[in-house]
Structure 1
Amino acid sequence: MNWYRRTLGLCLGLNLLTATPLMLAQPALAQLPNLENQPALVQEGYVLFERGWIAPALETFRQAVQQYPNSVPAQLGLARSYLKLGQDANAFEAFRRLLVLEPTNIEALETLGVLGTYRPEWRSVGIESLTTLLAQPGYEQNGEVRSQRALLLFYEGRLVEAVADYDIALEQNPTWATQVGAAQVFAYGGRSAQSVELFESYINAGQRLTVFEAQAYSFALRRQDNPGQAIAVLTAFLDANGDPTEQAQIKADLATSYAANREYEQGLALLDTIQGQPLVVARALRGMTFYTDTPVVQQRAIAAYKAVLSSSSLTVGTAREAAAALGSYPSSQPTTLATYRQLAAQYPDDVSLYVQTSIWERQLAQISAQELRQRLLAVNLPENPIQLRYVASSLARLDPPDAELITFYQEVLAVTAAEPFLHYRLGQIYLQQNQLDLAQEQLQLYAGDDPAVLLFQAEQARRQDDIDTSIAIYQQLINDPTSNNEVVTGALQGLAGIYQGQGRYAEALALYEEIIALNPGNDAKILGQTSLAYQGKFIAVETAESVLNQWLASHSANDTPPELYSLVGSLPADPARSQLYDTLLAINPRSIAVRQRQIQVLAMTDPDAANQAAAQLVADNPDAPEAYLLQGQIAQDTDDLSTAAAAYNTLLERNPEQFDAIVGLAGVRFRQLRYQEARRLYDQAIELAPDDINLRQASISLTVAQDRPLQALEEISALQSRVPNSIGLERQELLIQERLLLHRGFQPVWERY
């Protein structure tokens, strides 16, 4: 499931990279430096500066810097003069030079922190300068400096860090500017409830919202499922005589709010009035698709972004944005890949385009998982922060995340914090590996009101055997009217998995009917449904294999969704599928189910090797019950009963009610002629699964082995009343009757001649 299609991505496209939604601070000049013992030329420059003769002062300071290149006052005067004359670029470089001479110069650190808001390429320097400033004595708890750094972090898309800075700034008797800035960042940083509280406090105090602030407020209101108020907030800013660009953005946000309020027709009508702003319209349509699955909205969004890509004035940044947006819709994903390929060919030195292209080639099954790993693990990450952001965001799209790339995830996170969702992906990997503490750490680094967090928590609860909590979370997401198809699909699949584990296959299959209805055209879901139906004994093995064969015949070998692993792992081991097992395990060597089938096939020809492989599987997956079950089964089949018993006992020590381990150990004790233990175990298993016919037949066989044929016949008779016309039971009854006759000295009539 692809959780990268969240509203934060739209927010980044709208505001963080292009606009200035927060109030910008202005550089403030400090007092004159101590000019005692300074050269006459430096003193002359400050005299001119103080008199307001800035141009002559600038020329004087230039000469002073040339003659005295290590003079801090001369460099400071030059930087101040550039700033006073509005030559921001020269001022920026002059203040950077000043930091070389004096790395902790307070005025330079403060000014660079403010100038960082002026141009995107200056932001990283501004953040670095303010970070140094906050480390100086007396500045550690400075709320204004924290707010300024939070603003820059916000622009850089580093929302988690921006939120953290505002948390501290709000504790320091914040100004109204700090409060409203925090409200905006919290809106886009996953703290919408707190954002709404801050905005309401700000408004109730008589403060007026700017357009940018109103947009953030409406965004937070939508996230809090209050689109009606979001509409009211934005409507107040509509002005027929207002700035056309600003009004277009208001209408775009208003259209999204209408969609959230289930009034998408009004939203579309509003967008019809701003067709001269194609990119704004495209972004708005994409935002609307987060709240409505109406085909017309999605179709218009796709058409709008394709029109943007065909524009003669298309920039690289806009092309990348359009490609990413189109990637949210399956029908337009080939266009996404084609766009990235074209950009990568035009800009071969841009590593991020190479990464984006590679990941999309994998997502569209045009390269194998191994090929993607080889490419990414050979990449030298760029130093450019914008390229790093693209690398991180494209890696976050890889769904499910590849555990074999865990070092690459960690490397990317070590050099950029621009993509918090990457923490979620890394957490998913840890969750798959049952490293729950590490998974929780990563989830905490990705904080917010994204439904993906709830899905993560539900799976985490399931792995901690807190099934009730897991079910409650899934039901909450399924019943929430604001949940989109992806969220509902994820919740339905999670709930179906729980029902499957409980043996409630009919209920799980009913959920899969809903999943398939929500995902028309996604035939991978058919594989998942088939796997469930086969495991629940609703279809024969031949039917399940037919579905698998149809998939393999119609899909690329690189197309390996999780549902394929589920079906292949549920079907009996088959030597004819040996190559398929090898292929799937090369892509995902951690698939225990497929590895089980591979080992079972190996056991048919080389039992010793199979036992060794099973032991290695246990060593590699010490927390996986299925690994021990396989080891027990292989050992049991090859008459290594002591190893089988040890494997089953390990599971029962962890969970005395592990059904398969109870049945397996019962079978071992039966073969070891330890009938009393076997009887106790079979009775325990029957209590757990009273309707399991195979189990009851095994129990009847034990009764016979204990030389109680009449009791065995009574058990068969009782079972036949519940399962009439069972050929297996009839045959078992006939064999017991034969044995009983022979014990009495009679020869059956069918053996007399």
Structure 2
Amino acid sequence: MNKIIGLGLAGIVATIPIISYESAAYAQATPTLVRQGFGLLNQGRVQDAIAIFEQAVQRYPDSLEAKLGLAISYRRQGLIPQAWSAYQQVLAQDPNNQLALKAVGLLGTFRSEWQVRGIEALTRLLNINPNDNESRGIRALLYGYQQRFVEAISDYQIVLQANPTPEILLGAAETYTNSGNPQQGLDLFNRYLATGGKPISGFTALAYARALRETGNPGGAIQVLENQLRISPQLDDLGIQTRGSLSQAYLANRQVNEALNVLAPLQGILAAILPLARSLNAIRSQSNNPALTPQIASLYRQALAQIPNPEPKLLREVADVFAGIPSERQTALQIYQQLIQIEPNNRPLIVKVLALQSQLGLISKADLRSRLFAAVQPLPADPNERQQLAQSLAGIDPPGPEFIAVYFGLLQSGANVPFLNFRIAQLLIENNDLGGARQALAAYAATPEGAKDLSPQLLAAEIERREGNLEGSAYRYQALIASNPPDSDIIMGALRGLATVRVQQNRPIDALVIFDQLIARNPQDLTLQLARTSLAYEAKVISELQAEGILNYWFQTQPPNNAPPELFALVGTLPAHARREGIYNYLLQIDPNNIPIQIRSIQVIAQRSPEQARVRVAELVARDPTNIRSYFLQGELGQAIKDFELASQAYNIILAAQPSNRDALSALAGVRFQQKRFNDAADLYYQSLAINPNDKDIRRTLIDLDRARDFQMKAFTEIEGMQIEQIQNGGVVNSDLSRRRQEIQEDFLQRRGFQPPWEQY
């Protein structure tokens, strides 16, 4: 990144004074050549001054003034590499020379390979003079170029409080934008424009356009970039970057064809390989265009091939992109492992390796959980490492509830990764802490990143589903689908969520139609086939033999340890059978706490020996007697083997500790229902319903309970009430409720000796 900041050469000249030799004593101590050189420099005769200072340095090699005069002359003549080298000679003789330290810091903004030395020089200068806000502002800009945004923002927070110059405002605007805070960046750009400074152009215009685009004004970004392209139409570094940025702006404005067209001139240009790959990858991701994938992979491979020893930063970028392409994940893993050899203690890289190994089925879920937790504890002391670690963790689904504290710790320590709030919400939903999940989603939505993200809508719909508001949940999913968002993951998530709601509404055929849409969108995803098979079997659309065929095909085609949740769901849905006992044991090695698989395993054991099954249940509870989940497991296993006393004992233990545990109340009510203790079951269901009056599952179960107690009119009235609620809420009358209503009507007619008209033909 060879670019000059807004200060430019004029800014540098104005910033660094020329030495004055007005003191007679000092003039006598200074060699005549050196005084002559500075005299020429003051007259503006820079080339003549260079010739004199070069002679002076040769004649007086220990003269600091001669070296400094030569460095200043080179800089004023625009001979930047020579100036850089000359200032290094000054610092080699006088490491604390403030003039040279400031110049090296400024020159560090010219070339990417000088940035670190520039930061070091300015740090030394600020240790000598901490009130030099101009130098602090330049160091902040260099930190930003190095993507060390924590240090950059820390410097800018000091500088921006002290009447900053327009140049510092401009640098701060660029840095805040690139650090992931486009709103703050845009505010600073506006402050700069209000000063009446020069028009924003060059590379800084790209940051300005990004701030506009990421704060919801892609049209403004397009205008800025099209103007920049008119000013600099050449296909140099700036022109290439401008086309890449303009492509992003068009994409944000849903002008996909324009986004592709503006990139067309970059095809075949060696210097444009990486910018073209990055831009095409963004189009692929946001417009769900898999046809671009081969070209993107080819471009990144070309980029690696043309660089003999690619920098770790480039290798990591390629690995990050390849990790999102299923066919390239093995290559991504190899690159990550190559980077780990260079940086064996790089914890963000370790996180990425573990996540990819899990995706490829190379490690179990349990291994991922334990090794990942070990990799993040304790949190790094270095703020940049914490930031990178937070970004790595945000990219993978949280493997366990213990990560809630990790995510909170990263956010509280200053990591600027708002999506961690989303991950916290996911875990809180799994823990059934729906109120806490709403708070986490609200925290995410309050950030610039979260305000434009549709992902929280998926979790909000899931919260409504868990609260029993099925129609509200379905409406939210349908609205997301109807909006046709460019992010295919949002549509896929909404379709899957809607299918789950339809299943819960006892509308399995509607859910199967949705799964067919999902499979049509992503026919290579075998996990969708697993999920559809589970549903089709439960709906009695396919036989156990057909479902087992899909299950066997999975094991024939997938690598070991590739056990997604859909596999557990299908195996848990199929009835217990001794021929699948090996599968149960295999899955329980991966996830010993999976209740449906434990149930199937113990049911098979119970077929051989009921007593052995009870011992197995007791062992599972004894493994973690303080964990309430263990008693839920005991209760469900007791129901599965029809040991109702064992199940009752487990649920009563939970209720003794948590009398308002809605799940335990409902589960114990279910046991009483199975025992035909209908009145006890009703009491427990009503206690659960009092905690969550919107739980439609319990209301439907109470309808079944009333019918079992022969309270037909009460059941009929409750069905009518639920149907009216659905109509008033703008929903469609549930087909399951209509079926139950018809069954009650038929029962009334048959009791009176009439045959219903729909049975007469």
Q: Same fold (TM over 0.5)?
A: yes
Identity of aligned residues (%): 26
Instruction: Name 2:455's counterpart in structure 1.
Output: 455
Instruction: Name 2:491's counterpart in structure 1.
Output: 488
Instruction: Name 2:275's counterpart in structure 1.
Output: 280
Q: Give the superposition deviation at 1:547.
A: 2.9
Larger relative contact order (CA 8 Å, sep ≥ 6): 1
Q: Give the superposition deviation at 1:661.
A: 2.4
Instruction: Name 1:329's counterpart in structure 2.
Output: 325
Secondary structure of 1:666's partner? helix
Query: How big is each residue's C-alpha offset from its partner over 1:24-48, in whole Å with a ceiling of 9 and x where there is no partner?
Result: 885966999xxxxxxx9xx979x97
Instruction: Name 1:666's counterpart in structure 2.
Output: 672
The yes-or-no answer on 1:399 pairing with 2:396 is yes
Look up the equivalent residue of 2:173 and give its one-letter code: A
Q: Cα 1:473–1:642, aligned 2, differ >3 Å: closer, same or farther?
A: closer
Query: How big is each residue's C-alpha offset from its partner over 1:465-495, in whole Å with a ceiling of 9 and x where there is no partner?
Result: 7787987876675455553112332344455
Q: Cα 1:255–1:410, aligned 2, differ >3 Å: closer, same or farther?
A: closer
In structure 2, C-alpha distance between the alignment counterparts of 1:354 and 1:597, rounded to whole Å: 36
Q: Give the superposition deviation at 1:613.
A: 1.4
The yes-or-no answer on 1:528 pairing with 2:531 is yes
Secondary structure of 2:287's partner? coil
Instruction: Name 2:626's counterpart in structure 1.
Output: 619
| Structure 1 counterpart of 2:244, from 234, 245, 252 | 252
Contact kept in structure 1, 2:421 and 2:441, CA below 8 Å: no
TM-score by length of 2: 0.66
Q: Give the superposition deviation at 1:233.
A: 1.6
TM-score by length of 1: 0.66
In structure 1, C-alpha distance between the alignment counterparts of 2:453 and 2:102, rounded to whole Å: 37
| Structure 2 counterpart of 1:157, from 139, 147, 151 | 147
The yes-or-no answer on 1:608 pairing with 2:615 is yes
Contact kept in structure 1, 2:210 and 2:221, CA below 8 Å: yes
Look up the equivalent residue of 1:363 and give its one-letter code: Q
The yes-or-no answer on 1:211 pairing with 2:202 is yes
Contact kept in structure 2, 1:458 and 1:471, CA below 8 Å: no
Q: Give the superposition deviation at 1:610.
A: 0.1
Instruction: Name 2:77's counterpart in structure 1.
Output: none
Contact kept in structure 1, 2:527 and 2:566, CA below 8 Å: yes
In structure 1, C-alpha distance between the alignment counterparts of 2:536 and 2:167, rounded to whole Å: 59
Q: Which moved more, 1:332-341 or 1:205-214?
A: 332-341
Q: Give the superposition deviation at 1:161.
A: 6.2
Give the 5 Å matches for 1:166-245: 166=156, 170=160, 172-200=162-190, 202-203=192-193, 206=196, 207-239=198-230, 242=234, 244-245=236-237
Q: Give the superposition deviation at 1:573.
A: 4.8
In structure 2, C-alpha distance between the alignment counterparts of 1:375 and 1:97, rounded to whole Å: 50
In structure 2, C-alpha distance between the alignment counterparts of 1:719 and 1:437, rounded to whole Å: 36
Secondary structure of 1:640's partner? helix
Give the 5 Å matches for 1:462-481: 478-481=481-484
In structure 2, C-alpha distance between the alignment counterparts of 1:57 and 1:591, rounded to whole Å: 81
Look up the equivalent residue of 1:661 and give its one-letter code: A
Give the 5 Å matches for 1:712-731: 722-723=742-743
In structure 1, C-alpha distance between the alignment counterparts of 2:617 and 2:174, rounded to whole Å: 60
Look up the equivalent residue of 1:400 and give its one-letter code: D
Contact kept in structure 1, 2:662 and 2:688, CA below 8 Å: no
Give the 5 Å matches for 1:382-461: 392=389, 395-396=392-393, 399-403=396-400, 420=417, 423=420, 427=424, 431=428, 434=431, 440=440, 448-449=448-449, 455=455, 459=459
Q: Structure 2 regions of 5+ residues with no counterpart?
A: 20-25, 39-51, 75-81, 716-737, 752-761
In structure 2, C-alpha distance between the alignment counterparts of 1:417 and 1:61, rounded to whole Å: 52
Instruction: Name 1:630's counterpart in structure 2.
Output: 636
In structure 2, C-alpha distance between the alignment counterparts of 1:456 and 1:555, rounded to whole Å: 32
Look up the equivalent residue of 1:192 and give its one-letter code: P
| Structure 2 counterpart of 1:271, from 244, 263, 274 | 263
Give the 5 Å matches for 1:3-22: none
In structure 2, C-alpha distance between the alignment counterparts of 1:567 and 1:191, rounded to whole Å: 44
Give the 5 Å matches for 1:254-403: 254-275=246-267, 276=269, 277-311=272-306, 315-317=310-312, 318=314, 320-337=316-333, 348-351=341-344, 360-366=356-362, 368=364, 392=389, 395-396=392-393, 399-403=396-400
Tell me the C-alpha RMSD between the 2 structures: 6.1
Q: Cα 1:63–1:164, aligned 2, differ >3 Å: closer, same or farther?
A: closer
Q: Give the superposition deviation at 1:56.
A: 9.5
Secondary structure of 1:208's partner? coil
In structure 1, C-alpha distance between the alignment counterparts of 2:84 and 2:467, rounded to whole Å: 58
Secondary structure of 2:320's partner? helix
Query: How big is each residue's C-alpha offset from its partner over 1:692-713, in whole Å with a ceiling of 9 and x where there is no partner?
Result: 998777766667xxxx99x99x
Contact kept in structure 2, 1:143 and 1:169, CA below 8 Å: yes
In structure 1, C-alpha distance between the alignment counterparts of 2:503 and 2:133, rounded to whole Å: 53
Look up the equivalent residue of 2:287 and give its one-letter code: T
| Structure 1 counterpart of 2:564, from 561, 565, 574 | 561
In structure 2, C-alpha distance between the alignment counterparts of 1:134 and 1:152, rounded to whole Å: 14
What is the number of residues matched between the two proteins? 670
Q: Cα 1:373–1:625, aligned 2, differ >3 Å: closer, same or farther?
A: closer
Q: Cα 1:641–1:491, aligned 2, differ >3 Å: closer, same or farther?
A: closer
Q: Structure 1 regions of 5+ residues with no counterpart?
A: 1-16, 33-39, 65-73, 713-717, 734-753
Query: How big is each residue's C-alpha offset from its partner over 1:192-217, in whole Å with a ceiling of 9 and x where there is no partner?
Result: 34544544554465440122122123
Q: Cα 1:641–1:550, aligned 2, differ >3 Å: closer, same or farther?
A: closer
Contact kept in structure 2, 1:615 and 1:631, CA below 8 Å: no
Q: Cα 1:223–1:690, aligned 2, differ >3 Å: closer, same or farther?
A: closer
Query: How big is each residue's C-alpha offset from its partner over 1:591-635, in whole Å with a ceiling of 9 and x where there is no partner?
Result: 55545555665665330330341465673356x995575377479
In structure 2, C-alpha distance between the alignment counterparts of 1:305 and 1:498, rounded to whole Å: 41
Contact kept in structure 2, 1:363 and 1:398, CA below 8 Å: no
Q: Cα 1:373–1:423, aligned 2, differ >3 Å: closer, same or farther?
A: same
Look up the equivalent residue of 1:302 and give its one-letter code: A
Contact kept in structure 1, 2:468 and 2:696, CA below 8 Å: no
In structure 1, C-alpha distance between the alignment counterparts of 2:582 and 2:6, rounded to whole Å: 58
Look up the equivalent residue of 1:399 and give its one-letter code: I
In structure 2, C-alpha distance between the alignment counterparts of 1:418 and 1:678, rounded to whole Å: 50
Contact kept in structure 2, 1:461 and 1:467, CA below 8 Å: no
| Structure 2 counterpart of 1:646, from 620, 640, 652 | 652
Secondary structure of 2:250's partner? helix
Q: Give the superposition deviation at 1:524.
A: 1.1
